[in-house]
Amino acid sequence: MPRYLTRNCDGSTNAKYEILNSKSETSTNHQSPSVQNLCVCSDAVRRFSMLGVPPNMPSRAHYKLWNCTDSPMNKNKTKVEYLPDASVDAALDAEIRRLLTTCFTKPQDAVFKDRRYFVEPYPHRWVIRDARSAIIAHAGVHEKAVEADGRRFRVGGLAEVCVHPNYRGRGLVKAMVACIDEWLIACGYDFALLFGEPYIYQSSGYVLVNNLVYDEVTPAGEKYKAPEPAMVKELAGIPWPTTQVYLPGPKF
Ligand SMILES: CC(C)(COP(=O)(O)OP(=O)(O)OC[C@H]1O[C@@H](n2cnc3c(N)ncnc32)[C@H](O)[C@@H]1OP(=O)(O)O)[C@@H](O)C(=O)NCCC(=O)NCCS
């Protein structure tokens, strides 16, 4: 089992963590040279999974994760909680589906009565709770890849973004997206991608692109590559390709 180093940076129990792979403890703490007195934490792996460190964390990588209250985009310091799909039990599943069913009301959204995803399940999810701990905001994240110019890019695909009607217009989506983007950057993703309304995501740094195609099937069962406008955010300093970008699999 890998061993990790962790430090709670401000002394509180559910706040900012500096996390290093143990192999990098002496040399690669470039982003936070002030970090000192790191200690080995025996339950670090469990805490990492709670914080959202992906299981495929590469060695020698440096992760800096927040509980998302620190992001400058999260102006109200809203607490955004990472909820790995693997941790969702029956009660949580029902609560998530209740929110999705409340927020998404088109005929095709009836799928949420039976499952907590629209097309494909996703491993990552962020939620916001109200004062009574009820989930009032939700966003899922797919682990995806896109291909362009013979290159492959890691993409975090945001899906099922929603806020309970009683809590809209307070910046909750902005807070969640800020948190997710920080996490995707920390995990080495190249782009965040979603299919949604530009006016919701523009102020979070997402731009509309019109060169994406995904796998679609005609009613007769023939496969083809369908174009679809998408919202994209560059996370790793790599510009979004200008040629056609292929997203293998369905739209999410
Ligand atoms: C869309 C939705 C997620 C927005 O949630 P929210 O918490 O109210 O959004 P925020 O307060 O964080 O606002 C984020 C941005 O979207 C804008 N926005 C949100 N709702 C809007 C609306 N109905 N009309 C115009 N702009 C809107 C806000 O002005 C803000 O932009 P700004 O920073 O430029 O001012 C919520 O209304 C919802 O759940 N709708 C039903 C499900 C849905 O459509 N999901 C989105 C799929 S793309």
**What domains are there in the chain, each with its CATH number?**
4-65 (no CATH), 81-205+233-238 (3.40.630.30)
Backbone angles phi, psi at 85, to 5 degrees: -60, -35
pLDDT of residue 110: 98
pLDDT of 49 strictly over 70: no
Distance 167 CA to ligand 1 centre (A): 11
Encode pLDDT of 75-131 as tens digits: 677 889 888 899 899 999 999 999 999 999 999 999 999 999 999 999 999 999 999
Residue 195 alpha carbon, nearest atom of ligand 1 = 48
pTM tops 0.85:
no
Pocket test for ligand 1, best of 74, 118, 194, 200 (most atoms within 8 A of CB): 200
Distance 224 CA to ligand 1 centre (A): 32
The neighbour count for residue 3, using CB atoms within 10 Å, is 13
Query: Helix, strand or coil for residue 86?
Result: helix
174 lines ligand 1 (CB under 6 A): yes
- How far from the centroid of its chain's Cα atoms is residue 117's Cα? 14
Encode pLDDT of 2-33 as tens digits: 333 333 333 333 333 444 443 333 333 333 32
